[in-house]
C-alpha cells in the first residue's frame, strides 16, 4: 500500500496494488485503482514495502538538533517524490510503467518512470535509424584511392614478373639487395651484429644461390669434389648453427669452430673491434664455444638429414670415385678443433674432438695458432707439433670408417713465424704426410696502414686487408718448402676476386674469406666468382705454370708427375682387385679339395 492524499489533515486514500511474482520478480499486475480528485503519486520500487501513517508533528528538542547527524551520501535517501499530477495523468503513468515492466523488465529495477520514457524514446530512435538503413561512410579522397590502386598494381605486376623472370637474374637481384642492409649492421655493436648475422643465416633469412658454378672453378681434392674453391674460414659460425644457410649462399666449403671439448665463455667483452677505414678487425674472443656435445648434436642432425635426402632421391648413384658434395649438404664441411683455456693436456682435448666430431666432418683442422689462448702457439714448435699430430692421427685411424675413409687432417698456422719455424713445420708435414695446411690465422702485429688507427693498440689478432701481404708471403714460402706436395688453403685479407686469384697463384689450392665477408655480406661471393672466372679463363695450366715458377720446375714436369701418380694409383687398384680374385679362387679350390677328400673317405 502506498499512501496518497490531497492535503494534510484529510483522510488518506490508497491505491491497492497486489504483487504477483511469476517468472520475473518485477512483473506486477494492477488489481484495482481508486484515485481521488487530486493526489500525489509515488512510483513504486521492487524493494518498497507498506509505509506507516505519518505521526503527528512534534518539534524536535534543541539537544536532538545538536546531536542530529547529516545523512551520509551512501545512505539510502528513500523513494523519490514526484510532482503533483492529475488522476488521469497518474493512471497513464502507471499503465506505461506496467507495460514497460511486462515487456522489457527494466522499468522496475530501480528506474523511475522518467528513465523508462527516455528508454522508449531511445528505442524509438534506434528503430527509426534501423529502418533508415546503415549510416553512409564518406568515400576516401581521390588521391588516396589512386595511390592505393597504384601500389596494388605494382605489387601484382612485380609478382607476375618474378614468377616468369629468369631465376638467375632474380637470384642476382637478391644478392645485390643485401648491400642495402650492410650499413644497418655497421650501426650495431660488432659482436651483436655478428650474432645477428649468424642467427639470420641459421633461420634461412639470407639469399640462396641457385645458379650453378662455372665449370672452370671446380676441382677435386681429398677424394671430394668442390664446386668452387671459395670457402668461409673458422670463427664466423663457431657452434655450427648456420651450416646449411652458409653453404646455400654459394660457398664451396664452410669451416665451423673452433670447437672446444668443454663450453667456455671466452675472454671478457668487448672483444671485437672494427677498423672500418682499413677493412680490418681486431678480435680477442678466446675460443668462445658451446662445447663439442652441442656441436655434435647439431652436426648429427644435419648429417642425418643429408642421408635421408640421399636415400629418398631418385637419382642413381654415380660410378665415379669422387664424392659429390659433403656430409652436411652440397658443399664441404670442415671442423676446426681447439683446446680449453684451463686445460693442461692440449693433446687430450684435440683427441676428444676427433673422437666426437670426425664422423660428421669432411676434413678436420688442428688450430695451434690462435693468439688469444695462452700457450697455444707454443704447439707450433717442431717437437710439440710432431707429437701432437702423431697422437691425433692415431686417434683418427683407430676409429672404424666406411669406404669413404677417415677425414683429412690439416693444421692451421700463424703468419708471425720465423723462417726456421716454417722449415720445421714443413718438415713435420712432409714426414707425417699431413693432408694439408691452412695459412694463415690472425696476426699479433699491426701491418701498415692499420698501425695508425686509434684501436690498433687493442690486444688480439688482426684480420682483414692489412694481413693480405703478410699471409701471402708465408703461403708462397710454405709452398716452396713443401715442394707443392701438400694442399694449402690460403686465408687472410682476401676481399676480392683478384686477391683470391693471387692466393691461388701463390700456391693455394683453396681460399677462405672471413673479414671481407663480414663487411661485404653475401653479395661478395658471386662478385668474387665472377672476377675469378674472368681472371682464370685460361684454365688450370696458367695456375700450374705460376706455381711451378715458384719452385723452378717446368709445368710439363708437374703434369708428367701428376699423370704418373694417376697411372700408379690405377695400377695399384687393379692389382688389389686381382689379388682379391686370386685369394677367392684359392679359397674355393681348397674348399672343393676338402669336399673330395671327405667323399673319398
Give the pLDDT mean for 59-88: 57
Highest mean pLDDT out of 169-173, 208-212, 286-290: 286-290
**pLDDT at residue 459 tops 70:** yes
pLDDT value of residue 295: 94
Task: Give pTM, 2 decimals.
Answer: 0.64
Which set of grid coordinates corresponds to residue 82?
514526484
C-alpha R_g of the chain = 46
Exposed, middle or buried by CB within 10 Å (0-12, 13-18, 19+), for 36? middle
User: Which of 499, 438, 433 is CA-nearest to residue 468?
Assistant: 499
What is the torsion angle, in degrees rounded to the nearest 10, for the CA atoms of residue 475, residue 326, residue 303 and residue 294? Answer: 10
- pLDDT level of residue 280 (50, 70, 90 thresholds): very high
Active site residue 554: no
Which of left, alpha, beta for 9 (phi over 0: left; psi -120 to 50: alpha)?
left
Phi/psi at 280 (nearest 5 deg)?
-130, 165
Residues forming a β-bridge with 274: 281
Which set of grid coordinates corresponds to residue 416?
708471425
CA distance 302 to 299: 5
Out of 258, 370, 463, 471, pick the active-site residue.
370
Cα separations in angstroms, 383 against 323, 347, 388, 389: 35, 13, 9, 10
CA distance 381 to 379: 5
Q: What is the pLDDT of residues 357-378, one digit of tens each?
A: 998 999 999 999 998 888 888 8
The CATH code for residues 164-310+327-542 is 3.20.20.70
Do 491 and 367 form a contact (C-beta atoms < 8 A)?
A: no
User: Which of 245, 173, 176 is CA-nearest to residue 208?
Assistant: 245
pLDDT value of residue 123: 53
pLDDT value of residue 93: 78
CA distance 40 to 30: 18
Element at 232 (helix H, strand E): strand 230-232
Q: What is the pLDDT of residues 539-590, one digit of tens each?
A: 443 444 455 455 444 444 444 444 444 544 555 555 555 545 544 555 554 4
CA distance 349 to 353: 6
pLDDT value of residue 535: 63
pLDDT value of residue 469: 93
Do 231 and 487 form a contact (C-beta atoms < 8 A)?
A: no
CA distance 273 to 453: 11
Amino acid at each position: 500500500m502506498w499512501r496518497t492524499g490531497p492535503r494534510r489533515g484529510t483522510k488518506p486514500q490508497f491505491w491497492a496494488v497486489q504483487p504477483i511474482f511469476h517468472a520475473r520478480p518485477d512483473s506486477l499486475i494492477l488489481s484495482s485503482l481508486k484515485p481521488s480528485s487530486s493526489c500525489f503519486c509515488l512510483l513504486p520500487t521492487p524493494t518498497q514495502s507498506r509505509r506507516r501513517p505519518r505521526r503527528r508533528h512534534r518539534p524536535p528538542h534543541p539537544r536532538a538538533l545538536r546531536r542530529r547527524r547529516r545523512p551520509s551520501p551512501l545512505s539510502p535517501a528513500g523513494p523519490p517524490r514526484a510532482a503533483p499530477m492529475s488522476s488521469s495523468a497518474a493512471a497513464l503513468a502507471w499503465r506505461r510503467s506496467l507495460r514497460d515492466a511486462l515487456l522489457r523488465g527494466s522499468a522496475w529495477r530501480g528506474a523511475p518512470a522518467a528513465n523508462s520514457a527516455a528508454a522508449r524514446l531511445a528505442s524509438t530512435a534506434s528503430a527509426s535509424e534501423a529502418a533508415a538503413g546503415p549510416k553512409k561512410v564518406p568515400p576516401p579522397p581521390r588521391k588516396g584511392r589512386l595511390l592505393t590502386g597504384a601500389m596494388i598494381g605494382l605489387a601484382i605486376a612485380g609478382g607476375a614478373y618474378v614468377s616468369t623472370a629468369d631465376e638467375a637474374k632474380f637470384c642476382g637481384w637478391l644478392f645485390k639487395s643485401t648491400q642495402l642492409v650492410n650499413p644497418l649492421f655497421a650501426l650495431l655493436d660488432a659482436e651483436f651484429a655478428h650474432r645477428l648475422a649468424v642467427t639470420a643465416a641459421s633461420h634461412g633469412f639470407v639469399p640462396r644461390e641457385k645458379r650453378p658454378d662455372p665449370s672452370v672453378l671446380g676441382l677435386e681434392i681429398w677424394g671430394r669434389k668442390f664446386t668452387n674453391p671459395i670457402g668461409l674460414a673458422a670463427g664466423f659460425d663457431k657452434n655450427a648453427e648456420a651450416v646449411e644457410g652458409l653453404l646455400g649462399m654459394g660457398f664451396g666449403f664452410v669451416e665451423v669452430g673452433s670447437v672446444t671439448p668443454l663450453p667456455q665463455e671466452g675472454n671478457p667483452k668487448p672483444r671485437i673491434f672494427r677498423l672500418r677505414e682499413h677493412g680490418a678487425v681486431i678480435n680477442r674472443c678466446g675460443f668462445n664455444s658451446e662445447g663439442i656435445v652441442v656441436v655434435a648434436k647439431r652436426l648429427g642432425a644435419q648429417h642425418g638429414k643429408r642421408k635421408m635426402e640421399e636415400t629418398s632421391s631418385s637419382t642413381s648413384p654415380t660410378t665415379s670415385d669422387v664424392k659429390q658434395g659433403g656430409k652436411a649438404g652440397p658443399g664441404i664441411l670442415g671442423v676446426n678443433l681447439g683446446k680449453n683455456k684451463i686445460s693442461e693436456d692440449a693433446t687430450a682435448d684435440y683427441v676428444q674432438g676427433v673422437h666426437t666430431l670426425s664422423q660428421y666432418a669432411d676434413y678436420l683442422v688442428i688450430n695451434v695458432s690462435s693468439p688469444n689462448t695462452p700457450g697455444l702457439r707454443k704447439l707450433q714448435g717442431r717437437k710439440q707439433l710432431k707429437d701432437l699430430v702423431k697422437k691425433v692421427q692415431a686417434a683418427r685411424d683407430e676409429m672404424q670408417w666406411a669406404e669413404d675413409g677417415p677425414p683429412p687432417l690439416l693444421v692451421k698456422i700463424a703468419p708471425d713465424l720465423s723462417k726456421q719455424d716454417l722449415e720445421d713445420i714443413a718438415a713435420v708435414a712432409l714426414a707425417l704426410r699431413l693432408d694439408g695446411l691452412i695459412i694463415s690465422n690472425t696476426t699479433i702485429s699491426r701491418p701498415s696502414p692499420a698501425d695508425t688507427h686509434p684501436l690498433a693498440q687493442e690486444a688480439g689478432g688482426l684480420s682483414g686487408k692489412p694481413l693480405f701481404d703478410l699471409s701471402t708471403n708465408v703461403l708462397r714460402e710454405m709452398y716452396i718448402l713443401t715442394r707443392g706436395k701438400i694442399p694449402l688453403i690460403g686465408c687472410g685479407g682476401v676481399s676480392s676476386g683478384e686477391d683470391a686469384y693471387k692466393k691461388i697463384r701463390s700456391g693455394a689450392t683453396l681460399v677462405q674469406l672471413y673479414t671481407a665477408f663480414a663487411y661485404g655480406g653475401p653479395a661478395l661471393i658471386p662478385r668474387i666468382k665472377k672476377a675469378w672466372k674472368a681472371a682464370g679463363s685460361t684454365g688450370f695450366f696458367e695456375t700450374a705454370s705460376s706455381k711451378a715458377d715458384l719452385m723452378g720446375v717446368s709445368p710439363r714436369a708437374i703434369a708428367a708427375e701428376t699423370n704418373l701418380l694417376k697411372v700408379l694409383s690405377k695400377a695399384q687398384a687393379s692389382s688389389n682387385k686381382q689379388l682379391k680374385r686370386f685369394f677367392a679362387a684359392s679359397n674355393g679350390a681348397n674348399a672343393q679339395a676338402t669336399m673330395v677328400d671327405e667323399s673319398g673317405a
